[in-house]
Amino acid sequence: MRDPVTGLLFVLPMLVLFLIFRIFPSLGAAGMSLTNWNIGGEWEFTGLDNYARMLDDPTFWISLKTTLVYVAVYVPMTVLFSLGTALLLNAVVTMRGLWRGMLFLPYVTSFVLAGVIWRWIYEYNGLINGLLAKLDLGPVMFLERSELVLPALALVSAWKGFGYSMLILLAGLKAIPGSYLEAARVDGASAWQRFRSIVLPLLKPALFFVLVIETISGFQVFDTIYVMTGGGPARASYTLIYAIYDKGFRGFEFGYAAAFGMVLFAIILIVSLIQRRLLGRENT
């Protein structure tokens, strides 16, 4: 028993922090979702009333649809960015550390700063419309058009967050034995055939991890929307996390906001289990 106890002692500080700041608040939110908790700390047990109210609330369905659309745009964009840059870095021979640091730099900047910068880029007199004007193309109001706001926000989040996933995939590429690729090259396999038949299958565990964390990140998007659009225009960027903020910290309906949070938790859990099922249990 000495080895397990020793290991437990080493992880105990982080385990305590995880329980205090993750598990206990999650359990508290689950309990709060069954009450009408208000800002004064007064509450009354209401059972499933908040969930029944949610099903009749158009705001919930709008935020759910917006979140799903955003995730459908953001996740493939980020995974492709990450995989593409990881493949390029893996092929680079000189100054690899410099390029890796430059590509990772956006990840360590704050979402608020990224949102402010990209809001200026998207503005009427911003960088993109300035370039379009030189091409005699009309200005495009990216953040004021309902059909463009979610792809525009997804691009900002992908630019901000792809660096971490890039490093995970780069580590996965480094773990692939070079002898496999060399043997395939000697046998006459093209670059695409080597990628499809060797690299991609061996990269599945890293891809699964990236897919899961980016999916969770997509469902939890808030900072970019808060800074750039405030849920607009006409609630076109009104996601579930923004609805939780709106109901809880603007409407002071903490029990109702917690119910939104529990539904979001259930959706993320189900999506993660589906992803694990599709990619295969052995690759996780």
In a domain, 145, yes or no: yes
pLDDT at residue 118 greater than cutoff 60:
yes
Domain count along the chain: 1
In a domain, 15, yes or no: no
Least confident window among 45-59, 133-147, 210-224: 133-147
In a domain, 151, yes or no: yes
pLDDT at residue 212 greater than cutoff 80:
yes
Q: How many helices (H) and strands (E) does the chain have?
A: 15, 0
- Assign residue 100 the CATH number of its domain: 1.10.3720.10
**Cα distance between residue 268 and residue 234, in whole Å:** 26
Mean pLDDT of 267-280: 85
Residue-range definition of the domain harbouring residue 235: 49-283
In a domain, 40, yes or no: no
**Cα distance between residue 109 and residue 223, in whole Å:** 12
Per the omega criterion (within 30 degrees of 0), is the bond before 233 cis?
A: yes
Distances (CA, A) of 83 to 166, 180, 271: 6, 20, 21
Residue 78: predicted pLDDT:
95
Amino acid at 270: I
In a domain, 221, yes or no: yes
Cβ-contact 118, 142 below 8 angstroms: no
In a domain, 215, yes or no: yes
**Cα distance between residue 189 and residue 191, in whole Å:** 7
Residue 6: predicted pLDDT:
86
**Cα distance between residue 91 and residue 84, in whole Å:** 11
**Cα distance between residue 227 and residue 240, in whole Å:** 16
In a domain, 22, yes or no: no
Distances (CA, A) of 231 to 144, 204, 234, 265: 11, 35, 8, 21
In a domain, 30, yes or no: no
